[in-house]
Amino acid sequence: MNIRIYLVPLFIALFSVVIIVLSLRLDVSPPMIVGDSMQPRVFPIFLMILNLILAAILALQHRKTPPKAQEWENFTTWGTILLLLPFYYLATHVDLFIAIAVVIFAMSLLWGEKRWWAALLLALVTPSLLFLLFDSVLRIRFPRGLFTNWWYS
């Protein structure tokens, strides 16, 4: 038996069961508030039961017609996803705009830009323009960080 073809339906089923368990732990509202309607836990449970049925149908479909094996993601894709980790760290601990600039620079090089100065220019100009537009024109305040502290002070 090829387990691989059942991985997606299994994941969906597992997710649905977890949500059902979490739903059962939700608070119950007094009958005088709910009246003839339903408790807040009922709707998510109903949805997840529906998802379990759909996951079973999907598993049957996969048994009948196995899905094509997916190609493994390439280095660029994994690299782009992994870039989100330093982005999270820099955005929460240093500055949102510095985080964006670093990711733009690294992403450009990762995606095949050979002119490092073009990537650097893009990394400096894009966040700066966006910051000026949103800060000055749209009047949006950005979270405090190294750069925004300097700007706002």
Is residue 13 within 8 A of residue 52, CB to CB? The reply is yes
Neighbouring C-beta atoms of residue 104, cutoff 10 Å: 19
Structure tokens at 25: 């732990």
Indicate which single residue of 1, 117, 138, 153 sits in contact with other proteins (rule: CB under 8 A).
138
In Å, what is the CA distance from 6 to each residue of 53, 60, 67?
14, 9, 10
Among 42, 48, 56, 50, residue whose Cα is nearest residue 9: 56
Residues 98-127 that bind other proteins (CB under 8 A): 100, 103-104, 107-113, 118-119, 122-123, 126-127
In the bound state with other proteins, the residue whose beta carbon lies nearer, of 1 and 85, is 85
The number of residues that bind other proteins (CB under 8 A) is 66
Indicate which single residue of 5, 10, 47, 94 sits in contact with other proteins (rule: CB under 8 A).
47
DSSP state of 6: G
Indicate which single residue of 21, 134, 149, 152 sits in contact with other proteins (rule: CB under 8 A).
134
In the bound state with other proteins, the residue whose beta carbon lies nearer, of 8 and 146, is 8
Buried b (16+ CB within 10 A) or exposed e, 20-47: beebeeeeeeeeeeeeeeeeebeebbee
Indicate which single residue of 14, 17, 24, 84 sits in contact with other proteins (rule: CB under 8 A).
84
| Interface positions with other proteins (CB under 8 A) | 8, 12, 19, 22-23, 26-27, 29, 33-38, 40-41, 43-44, 47-48, 50-51, 54-55, 57-58, 61, 67, 70, 73-74, 76-77, 80-81, 84, 87-88, 91-92, 96, 100, 103-104, 107-113, 118-119, 122-123, 126-127, 130, 134, 137-143
